[in-house]
Chain A
Amino acid sequence: MKHYLAASLVLAGLWATQARAESGSVIRDADLRQKPFADAAVLSKLAVGAQVEILAREGAWMNVRSNGQEGWLKMLQVRLGSGGGTNAGAAVGQGLKVVTTGSSGKTVSTGVKGLSEEELAHAQPNYGELDKLKAFGSSGTEASRLAGQARLAAAQVPEIAVKGAAASSSDGNGNSQNDLMNRRR
């Protein structure tokens, strides 16, 4: 009996994870549109925090279902996860060591498997592998020709200045070296 209970709990957990994986929440009041166009008909208004199931992405748009209604939102109007939940704590507890390293007191999260900093620190340089990396290089001419075959056309697009970055600098997870330095100065 205990066994069954445990099994069903695990399954329930998996389902919950799956559901989270496919869902997001609207970060501000948004219009759910019939098609992925700014002037498409508005099906309904979604309030900030509204949960959506993500079905597909196209261009700047995301096909979602909310309260049984299917429509389109801008990708940037949605953040994944349930929004305001406490899953992060669980994730940290399960899989991550969060350690404070160095004199800066910055919080560093370290993965527990795969390529680790330690492996990097102890690795011997492999120049043979470096040569191999170089041998696979593509010339600009070849890359352009193949891009053309893939129907990629170059366009003139000016640079865009970064805005809105200051608002987040108070976050405790910030790793901004500039912030650090500015404070020192």
Chain B
Amino acid sequence: MTKTLIALALASVCALPAHAIDFGKLLSTENINKAVELAKNTADANKELTPEQEAAIGDEAAAKLLGAKPLVNNSNLQRYVNQVGMWLALQSGKPALPWHFGVIEDPTVNSFATPGGNIVITRGLWDRISNEAELAAVLSHEITHVVKQHHLRAMKGEASRKALANLADLAVSAKGGGDKQKLIGNLGKGASEIAVRGLDKGDEYEADVFAMVLLARAGYNPYAMVSVLQMLERFNANSGGLEVFNTHSDPGARQDVIEASVGEQLEPYAGGVQQTQRFIAVKQGKSPGGTPSKGQGKKSGK
């Protein structure tokens, strides 16, 4: 039973299981031609997507996610997560992707990644993170999903042939000038099969382990990943698991996998950065400091 609890806890966050899911569900009709190409590629030959295709698909998914929940109206916070996220992405082996990071106005504890490099965490998660290394751990986990193209693999693997076929149909309709709203509705149904599934459990493990490597590469204490997982367990125990968003795999297993895979190997880096002044400043509602005031005036229109 404890296993179940932990599983639920992890589901809510770090596992950040929602991406593959959302990716499928969030796709809409803009750039749908590119979605067709995706469908063809994945269904036919598991061909690699071009970076442009990946980014286009990811932007659609992100737009839909942001349609559900807008960005938190705090430019200091938004700029800060981009500064931290980009520094991590630079160490990821794919520094040139169009990386963008954001915090959305949602009380649940969750985070999302789309293909192409859009990564979003909820305000509920931000509120529960206690230092920059923990933020970096969450972002690194998501960055790994993007770098390793886990969502795309999930689409192929989950045999969303049905969903892919629907995508292709939709794309055809879109070309014919079909009404956008209706198409989105159809897509919601068509992609529902894909939408309720989490990422491959193995992908989650990989994201945890590679996230720790990324943390070490970026100068953070890599074991912040473990403390995030434990924060999630604690949070969920306290909340009665109310805010769990989605599916997830056995959680005890995730720390077990970290232990079996990483164990003490990264302890030479455990003295890395844990807390920063900029994190504290942003938590207090101030500017991260040392940042150009560029974008300061770009308040949310909300």
Residues of A within 8 A of B (CB): 17-18, 20-22, 24, 38, 57, 59-61, 74-76, 78-92, 94-96, 101-104, 106-117, 119-130, 132-140, 142-144, 146-147, 149-165, 167-169, 171, 173-179, 181
Contacts and interface: CB of A to CB of B under 8 A. Distances in A.
Contact of B244 (A89, A109, A137, A179): A109
Contacts of B5: 81, 87-88, 91
Interface of B: 1-8, 11-12, 17, 21-22, 25-26, 28, 30, 59-60, 62-71, 75, 78-79, 82-87, 90-91, 95, 98-102, 104, 106-108, 110, 118, 120, 122, 124, 132, 154, 157-159, 181, 184, 188, 192-193, 195-202, 205-206, 209-210, 212-213, 216-221, 223, 226-227, 230, 233-234, 236-250, 252-253, 255-267, 269-271, 273, 276-278, 288, 290-292, 295, 298, 300-301
Nearest to B239: A95
Contact of A115 (B59, B60, B78, B106): B106
Contacts of A177: 154, 157-158, 197, 199-201
A96 B217 contact: no
Nearest to A149: B290
17 contacts: A17-B237, A75-B226, A85-B2, A91-B240, A91-B241, A96-B8, A110-B245, A111-B244, A113-B243, A115-B110, A125-B26, A127-B63, A150-B277, A152-B273, A155-B269, A163-B261, A175-B17
Contacts of A173: 3-4, 7, 248-250
Contacts of A22: 234
Given A126-B70, A136-B295, 7 more contacts: A21-B238, A60-B266, A81-B233, A120-B68, A147-B83, A147-B219, A163-B261
A80 B197 contact: no
A94 B5 CA distance: 12
Given A133-B71, A152-B218, A177-B200, A92 B8 contact: yes
B201 A157 contact: no
A162 B202 contact: yes
Contacts of A111: 12, 108, 242-246
A59 B275 CA distance: 11
A147 B87 contact: yes
Contacts of B216: 155, 157
7 residue pairs, one from A and one from B, having the closest CB atoms: A164-B260, A114-B108, A88-B5, A168-B253, A59-B270, A123-B68, A143-B86
A173 B246 CA distance: 12
Given A111-B245, A138-B86, A174-B250, A159 B210 contact: yes
A59 B269 CA distance: 8
Given A119-B68, A176-B202, A177-B158, A162 B257 contact: yes
A59 B221 contact: yes
A60 B192 contact: no
B56 to A, nearest CB: 12
Given A81-B2, A88-B4, A175-B248, A125 B264 contact: no
A157 B260 contact: no
Contacts of B192: 102, 121
Given A85-B1, A87-B2, A88-B4, A171 B249 contact: yes
B247 A175 contact: yes
A76 B64 contact: no
Given A134-B100, A150-B277, A109 B11 contact: yes
A108 B83 contact: no
A108 B202 contact: no
A165 B207 CA distance: 13
Contacts of B298: 132, 135-136
A82 B1 CA distance: 11
Contacts of A88: 1-6, 8
Contacts of B223: 57, 59-60, 75
Residue of A75, A89, A159 with most chain B CB atoms under a 10 A cut-off = A75
B118 A133 contact: yes
Residue of A22, A102, A126, A140 with most chain B CB atoms under a 10 A cut-off = A126
Contacts of A82: 2
A155 B242 CA distance: 39
